C-alpha cells in the first residue's frame, strides 16, 4: 500500500525545521491468536502496544512533537492479515496549530485481507485559529474484510474561550474493495470556519463533527439497529444521523462543542462495537 501522492502537501522550505514521522504496523493470525508481524517507526511518529487480555491487539499511534503546524507531515499505516482483527487508536487528541507556511499533512493507509477487521479509532483532531491541515485516509479491503473507521474534528477549545475564524481544512476518504471504489468522501473548510458552520446546511452553529463508517458485507441490513443506536445518543447540543449504501453504514455527528461530541461518539462506538474503547479514550 502506498500513500496517495496526489493529496500530499507541498514540501516546506528548507529554512524551517519541520516535524516528519512515519509509523506502520501489521498484525497476522497465528492459530488462535493475532500477533504483531511487523512494526516500523521513524521521526516523531511512534507506536505503543498496550497489553490486552483476551481481546484484539491494540496499536496506539502517537506524535511525540505534541502537535502539528504548516509543513509538518505524518504518515500512519495499519495492516491486518487474513482473519486478523486489530484496533488502531491514538494516545490523545491531535492538535493543529497556527500555520505560517502551508498546511500540515496527515496521511493514513489501511489494508485488510479477507476475513480481517481493522477498527480505526483515533481520538479527535483539534483545529486552532489559522490552522491549515490536509488529511487523507486510503483503505484497501480484500474479499469480505471489514473496516470500522472514525474521524472527528473540533474547532478550538470552547472551555478556553477559543474561536476559530480562519482555517484551511481538507479531509479525503477513499475506501476500495478488491480494487473497486466503494466509498469516497470529501470535506473542505476554507475561510471563517465559525461563519461557514453556522448555516443550517452545514453544522447549524456546531463546533465539532465526526464521521463513522462501517464497511462490511451486507452492512446495509443493519440500518434499523444503526438508527436505534443513533437515537440513543441524541441529546441537546448533539445531532446525529445514519445512512446506508450497499456494504456501508455512514454515521454523521454534529455537536455544539468537543465535549458533547466526544461523549456522544463514545456512546455510539461502545454500543455499536459491543465493547469498551481502548483505554486511551478514557484518560
For 49-97, the pLDDT digits (tens) are: 999 988 899 999 999 998 999 999 999 999 999 999 999 999 999 999 9
Model pLDDT, residue 194: 82
Mean of pLDDT values over 198-225: 92
Mean pLDDT of the chain: 92
Model pLDDT, residue 3: 53
Mean of pLDDT values over 188-196: 89
Q: How confident is the model at residue 7 (pLDDT cuts 50, 70, 90)?
A: low
Please tell me the pTM assigned to this model: 0.92
Q: Does residue 215 carry a pLDDT above 70? A: yes
Identify the CA nearest to 105 among candidates 12, 236, 208.
12
Residue 178 lies in a domain: yes
Q: How confident is the model at residue 9 (pLDDT cuts 50, 70, 90)?
A: low
Inter-CA distances, 249 with 183, 212, 215, Å:
10, 8, 7
- Buried-exposed string 50-89: b where 16+ CB fall within 10 A, e elsewhere: eeeeeebbbbbbbbebebbbbbbbbbbbbbbbeebbbbbb
The span from the CA of 153 to the CA of 141, in Å, is 25
Residue 2 lies in a domain: no
Residue 170 lies in a domain: yes
Q: Does residue 258 carry a pLDDT above 70? A: yes
Burial of 148 per CB tally in 10 Å (0-12, 13-18, 19+): buried
Q: Does residue 5 carry a pLDDT above 80? A: no
Three-state secondary-structure class, residue 226: helix
- What domain range is 256 assigned to? 22-282
Inter-CA distances, 139 with 50, 176, 237, 261, Å:
24, 6, 32, 25
Residue 1 lies in a domain: no
Inter-CA distances, 180 with 1, 142, 175, 255, Å:
15, 10, 8, 33
Residues 131-164: pLDDT tens digits?
999 999 999 999 999 999 999 999 987 666 677 8
Residue 115 lies in a domain: yes
For the chain, how many structural domains are there in total? 1
Residue 84 lies in a domain: yes
The span from the CA of 72 to the CA of 168, in Å, is 15
Inter-CA distances, 99 with 6, 102, 123, 154, 168, Å:
21, 7, 22, 17, 10
185, three cell numbers: 468522501
Mean of pLDDT values over 114-128: 97
Residue 11 lies in a domain: no
Model pLDDT, residue 61: 98
Residue 242 lies in a domain: yes
Q: Does residue 2 carry a pLDDT above 80? A: no
Q: How many other C-beta atoms lie within 10 A of the C-beta of residue 105?
A: 25
Mean of pLDDT values over 235-248: 97
Q: Does residue 122 carry a pLDDT above 70? A: yes
Amino acid at each position: 500500500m502506498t500513500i496517495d501522492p496526489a493529496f500530499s502537501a507541498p514540501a516546506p522550505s528548507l529554512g524551517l525545521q519541520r516535524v516528519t514521522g512515519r509509523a506502520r504496523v501489521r498484525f497476522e493470525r497465528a492459530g488462535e491468536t493475532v500477533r504483531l508481524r511487523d512494526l516500523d517507526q521513524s521521526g516523531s511518529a511512534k507506536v505503543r502496544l498496550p497489553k490486552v487480555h483476551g481481546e484484539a491487539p491494540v496499536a496506539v499511534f502517537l506524535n511525540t512533537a505534541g502537535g502539528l503546524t504548516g509543513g509538518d507531515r505524518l504518515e500512519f499505516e495499519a495492516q491486518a492479515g487474513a482473519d486478523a482483527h486489530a484496533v488502531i487508536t491514538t494516545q490523545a487528541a491531535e492538535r493543529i496549530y497556527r500555520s505560517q507556511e502551508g498546511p500540515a499533512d496527515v496521511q493514513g493507509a489501511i489494508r485488510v485481507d479477507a476475513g480481517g477487521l481493522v477498527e480505526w479509532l483515533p481520538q479527535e483532531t483539534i483545529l486552532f485559529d489559522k490552522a491549515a491541515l490536509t488529511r487523507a485516509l486510503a483503505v484497501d479491503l480484500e474479499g469480505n474484510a471489514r473496516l470500522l473507521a472514525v474521524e472527528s474534528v473540533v474547532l478550538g477549545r470552547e472551555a478556553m474561550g477559543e474561536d476559530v475564524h480562519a482555517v484551511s481544512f481538507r479531509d479525503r476518504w477513499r475506501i476500495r474493495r478488491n480494487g473497486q471504489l466503494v466509498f469516497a468522501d470529501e470535506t473542505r473548510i476554507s475561510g471563517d470556519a465559525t461563519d461557514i458552520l453556522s448555516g443550517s446546511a452545514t453544522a447549524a452553529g456546531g463546533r465539532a463533527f465526526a464521521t463513522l463508517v462501517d464497511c462490511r458485507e451486507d452492512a446495509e441490513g443493519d440500518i434499523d439497529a444503526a438508527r436505534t443506536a443513533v437515537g440513543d445518543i441524541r441529546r441537546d447540543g448533539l445531532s446525529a444521523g445514519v445512512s446506508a449504501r450497499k456494504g456501508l453504514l455512514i454515521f454523521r455527528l454534529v455537536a455544539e462543542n468537543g465535549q458533547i461530541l466526544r461523549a456522544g461518539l463514545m456512546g455510539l462506538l461502545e454500543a455499536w462495537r459491543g465493547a469498551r474503547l481502548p483505554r486511551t479514550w478514557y484518560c
